[in-house]
Chains A and B, each alone.
Chain A
Amino acid sequence: GENVEQHPSTLSVQEGDSAVIKCTYSDSASNYFPWYKQELGKGPQLIIDIRSNVGEKKDQRIAVTLNKTAKHFSLHITETQPEDSAVYFCAASPQGGNQFYFGTGTSLTVIP
């Protein structure tokens, strides 16, 4: 089955700096890679996703890159703000599959 690894587990940055979270996956059949933000006591919220036919996607301060050959994808948050503080999860979904596999999460703290 698919195995998704995520690093780092915790990340602290100064407000205004950039934050990068990296994930690797094992199943070459995976073709959908979403990123979720989870605030304390709430369900995950989709913030950005990328499909395997695209190498990079950007939405304002958030961007995701995908390297299919190396089987890794990354989340980039620029100009971080305190409200970006949360736990972020990456995930991978095999082609044609309904379920997907989560990374272990990154607790991001943005220091004002």
Chain B
Amino acid sequence: GAVVSQHPSRVICKSGTSVKIECRSLDFQATTMFWYRQFPKKSLMLMATSNEGSKATYEQGVEKDKFLINHASLTLSTLTVTSAHPEDSSFYICSARVESYGYTFGSGTRLTVV
């Protein structure tokens, strides 16, 4: 089946630093990927839609300068949390749409900012 590989699974960083999260589609091409944020015991909140070769589309209330998204190829999208603060600590998940299959999710990244 279609697999999206997400790395790292866990990351701890200091306040003020930046963290990059990668999502790769392993056996299919993903022209569009989606980035979600999930708080403990809460549902997934769509942050942005990543489009290969063009700018990402951000949901209302999501700071595009803080959450930088790059989708430079058909198999890789990255989310960079810039100047991270403790309130950015969360579970971040990517997903991609797969033709004739639906949507598949990465395994998530637990970000802790200390």
List the one stretch of A11-19, A41-49, A68-76, A77-85 in contact with chain B: A41-49
How many angstroms between the C-alpha atoms of A107 and B40 in the bound complex? Answer: 12
Q: Please, what's the 1-or-0 string for B32-51, where 1 marks a CB less than 8 Å from any CB in chain A?
A: 10100000011110100100
Q: A102 contacts the other chain (Cβ, under 8 Å)?
A: yes
Summarize B's interface: helix, strand, loop or mixed: strand
Residues of B in contact (CB 8 Å), total 20
Q: Using CB atoms and an 8 Å cutoff, list the residues of chain A in contact with chain B.
A: 32, 34, 36, 41-46, 49, 89, 98-100, 102-105, 107
Show 27 A/B contacts (Cβ-Cβ < 8 Å), sorted by A.
Answer: A32-B102, A34-B102, A34-B103, A41-B108, A43-B6, A43-B95, A43-B105, A43-B106, A43-B107, A43-B108, A44-B44, A44-B105, A46-B103, A89-B43, A89-B44, A98-B32, A98-B49, A98-B97, A99-B34, A99-B46, A99-B49, A102-B43, A103-B43, A104-B42, A104-B43, A105-B41, A107-B41
